[in-house]
Amino acid sequence: MTLLTLLLCGLINNPIQAQIEEGPRAQSVYAELAGPGLLFSANYDTRFSKARNGWGARAGAGYLSADNNSILTLPVQINYLLGKQGKYFEVGLGATFVSTKGSNNDDNFFVFDDASTTIGTMTFGYRYQPIDGGFNFRASLNPIFNKSNFIPYYFGLSFGYTF
């Protein structure tokens, strides 16, 4: 957590010497397996300025239902893309709202209580996002945490489209 804080403070206080890739603001939609959405999520990502890299944000939703049990996740993150020519290192910090509903039937494989919580999420990864749009790909390490737990080795993989 300290490393992420230092990195984000450095990005805010020292606008990295790497060039911002001017052009239309990058926007992406993608499906993600694991990652900040925990199981599976559909996401939208955008840059805050007319650039392909730099500061941006993502928001998504995930839902899974089986045996009268369900889980809903809503991940949101602020992120920064460092790199050029469609190949970026991504760093992000955010939160995921998690809501579970369950049937308390021991015959079910999945058994959830009716509960909701919010967990913290981080992203450190590679993003391929073409400058002129098209197929995008992301692979990331996504530590997750709350007030009593920290899971440093959680991963995410996504595929989508950049426009």
Q: How confident is the model at residue 80 (pLDDT cuts 50, 70, 90)?
A: very high
% of the chain residues with pLDDT over 90: 69
CB 23 within 8 A of CB 82: no
Q: Is 106 within a domain? A: yes
Q: Is 9 within a domain? A: no
First to last CA, the chain: 32
Residue 32 identity = E
Q: Helix, strand, or coil here: 36? A: helix
Q: Is 64 within a domain? A: yes
Q: Is 88 within a domain? A: yes
User: Does residue 159 have a pLDDT over 60?
Assistant: yes
Looking at residue 48, what is its pLDDT? 96
Rounded CA gap, 129 and 47, in Å?
A: 12
Better-scored residue on pLDDT, 103 or 77: 77
CB 89 within 8 A of CB 138: no
Domain span including residue 95: 26-162
Q: Helix, strand, or coil here: 111? A: coil
Query: Whose structure tokens read 């020292």?
Result: 14
CA 75 to chain centre: 7
Domains held by the chain: number:
1
Which domain CATH number covers 125?
2.40.160.20
The pLDDT tens digits for 2-15 are 544 444 454 544 44
Q: Is 16 within a domain? A: no
Query: Whose structure tokens read 């737990």?
Result: 149
Q: Is 18 within a domain? A: no
Looking at residue 21, what is its pLDDT? 72
Which pair of structure tokens corresponds to residue 26? 């990058």
In Å, what is the CA distance from 48 to each residue of 3, 39, 89? 24, 27, 17
Rounded CA gap, 156 and 144, in Å?
A: 11
Query: Whose structure tokens read 């955008």?
Result: 46
- Of 73, 52, 53, nearest to 63 by C-alpha is 73
Q: Is 14 within a domain? A: no
Residue 147 identity = K
Q: Is 19 within a domain? A: no
Rounded CA gap, 97 and 110, in Å?
A: 20
User: Does residue 18 have a pLDDT over 60?
Assistant: no
